Amino acid sequence: MTTMKRYGEALMTTFGTPRLVLARGEGSYVWDEDGTRYLDLLGGIAVNALGHGHPALVEAVTRQLTTLGHVSNFFATAPQVELAERLLATTGRPGRAFLTNSGTEANEAAFKLTRRTGRTHLVAAEGSFHGRTTGALALTSKAAYREPFEPLPGEVTFVPYGDEAALADAVTDATAAVVLEPIQGEAGVLLPPEGYLAAARRITREHGALLWLDEVQTGVGRTGSFWAHDPAVEPDVLTVAKGLGGGLPIGACLGLGAAGDLLGPGHHGSTFGGNPVSCAAALAVLDTIESEGLLANATVVGGLLREGLRHPLVTDVRGSGLLIGLTLAEPVSQEVVLAAQRHGFIVNNPTPDRIRLAPPLVLTGEQAQSFVDAWPDILAEALGATEEDHS
């Protein structure tokens, strides 16, 4: 029996049918169980910041696991404390961290933190994605994700992303927090107008509400800076995950300034959050981003991709660093994914007419150029497949 058939019989169907059975990875490449190589331009949905099997990550995890693998939260470990300090240092502000296993858990912690203001009203954006646990899902706008599980917790108002006037109308003195992504990844890598986050900061301060920025996908160098938001915009809450562990499960909810003291003893917990192995992995990711100049690499290689992927069948190319969105002239994103795979590239289609790229930050210019060179043939094949389907 094949691995794919065994998967279909043994695992719940929540993710649908997998596209491939992957067997191993090295750098920015992965191989399927038949030995076919693919350039990974999705990076585990922005998770594999250092690619696959990076020596620094392997060494850090191995060393930590052979030293101390897990302790309960009755005890502290040095990697846990160092990671919290390093993350807070990237903000340049005092605060406190709660370490989690994932982005949705980081947002779940932030959701509970907002309740400690004594207010329950939250404002989120249309097109947002904050996770699949019920609190995070309550802030996620996509109806297909929400409706099977309603009623969801919270009193949430959704406003058009990037619309400053709509945001100002929605926030009141009863609002606990506004939650926004600096770039909406799940919606197809959408950037707000310049000044939108600064306006959100001003509006929230006027009403005594918290500004919560979800950088689960955009943080840890993804956009060419450690954080995607302008440092002049000082959020009260920052959530981060995906690239932080380089493939190991870890995230964080950062409460900055007074928000760092809203959650107290007994208010929240996590069995595995702050696990020393995952913390060691995250520290290796932070060290490697710095030592290998990966912020600059994301900027340079991301620019190469955004410029090289322009095409008459692509109506918009956008993004920052190595988080790139492409809008297609036709709703053929699924056909593009399949055509890219036949050419040896893994890409993602968050909507019927949008392609998302979030490759490892170690992607080289030569590797990016190989995709640029194949892009016209991939689009031609995708469009041809659609025309054949309609004939």
Active site residue 214: yes
Q: State the catalytic residue, choosing from 40, 98, 214, 236.
A: 214
| 214 labeled binding residue | yes
Closest CA to 336 of 289, 282, 378: 378
> Which of 153, 156, 119 lies closest to 133, judged by CA?
153
Q: Residue 155 CB: number of other CB atoms within 10 A?
A: 13
Annotated binding residue at 103?
A: yes
Examine the residue annotation and report whether 242 is marked as an active-site residue of this protein: yes
Which residue is catalytic, options 40, 98, 242, 371? Answer: 242
Q: Annotation-wise, does 270 bind a ligand?
A: yes
Q: Half-sphere exposure (CA, 13 Å, Cβ side) for 288? A: 24
Rounded Cα distance between 265 and 19, Å, is 44
Pairwise CA distance, residues 129 & 167, whole Å: 17
Q: Which of 111, 129, 226, 371 is catalytic?
A: 129
129 has binding-site annotation = yes
Crossing angle of helices 294-308/365-390, nearest 10°? Answer: 40
28 is annotated as contributing to ligand binding? no
215 annotated as ligand-binding: yes
Residue 142 annotated among the catalytic residues of the structure: no
Q: Which residues are annotated as a binding site for pyridoxal 5'-phosphate?
A: 103-104, 129, 214-217, 271
Q: Which residues are annotated as a binding site for N(2)-acetyl-L-ornithine?
A: 132, 270
Q: Which residues are annotated as a binding site?
A: 103-104, 129, 132, 214-217, 270-271
Known catalytic residues are 129, 214, 242
